Amino acid sequence: MSDANGFQPSPNDIADQIRCLISDVDGVMTDGRITYDDQLVESKSFHARDGLAIKLWMRSGFGFGILTARKSKIVPHRAGELGIDQCVQGFEDKWPAAEQIMRHIGCTPEQTCYIGDDLPDIAVMRRVGLSVAPADASADARDIADWVLRTGGGQGALRELVECLLKAKGRWEEHVPT
């Protein structure tokens, strides 16, 4: 990510512009596995540290949205628990849905960070100010991501990302108890 003069912004410069964070679900907020019981009831597991990180991000005055190609009753329930009002499901072409979330939050693509893990996420990842992939994302997603996290999907990847962004903005310490 360099400009015409070859200038490459530092991670802190990139993080400073981010006002909106949009996340995929399966493979980011979860480990990507989809489990059904004998009654064909779907279940997902979410990491508690990711939930706390999302709340800290929003308490810091920034927007958060969920964008997933699949539809599940579990996802809007989790969004509601966390106070997320932008939860868009069922869009295989994710870019128009991402634009909808950004408009609602009032951010431009340059002010947006998107975290995704596989092919359906790449169209959004290519168009935002900061694209991020969990450590266990597909090779295609990792290859185009600006940042690749150390943490895997469903294992606290969002916590790692939010902590990194808030530290770069000088906003992390306000959330650490003294």
Is 136 marked as a binding-site residue?
Answer: no
CA distances from 83 to 40, 52, 56, 122 (A): 28, 11, 11, 27
Is 118 marked as a binding-site residue?
Answer: no
Q: Distance from first CA to last CA of the chain, Å, rounded? A: 38
Is 38 marked as a binding-site residue?
Answer: no
Helix (H, G, I), strand (E, B) or coil at 154: coil
Contact of 114 with 98, CB cutoff 8 Å: yes
Q: Please state, in angstroms and rounded to a whole number, the distance separating the CA atoms of residues 100 and 108.
A: 11
Q: For residue 28, which of 172, 168, 145 has the smallest C-alpha distance?
A: 145
Which structure tokens are listed for 70?
């699949």
Which structure tokens are listed for 128?
């935002």
Detail the residues annotated as belonging to a binding site.
Answer: 24, 26, 117
Detail the residues annotated as belonging to a binding site for substrate.
Answer: 26
Detail the residues annotated as belonging to a binding site for Mg(2+).
Answer: 24, 117
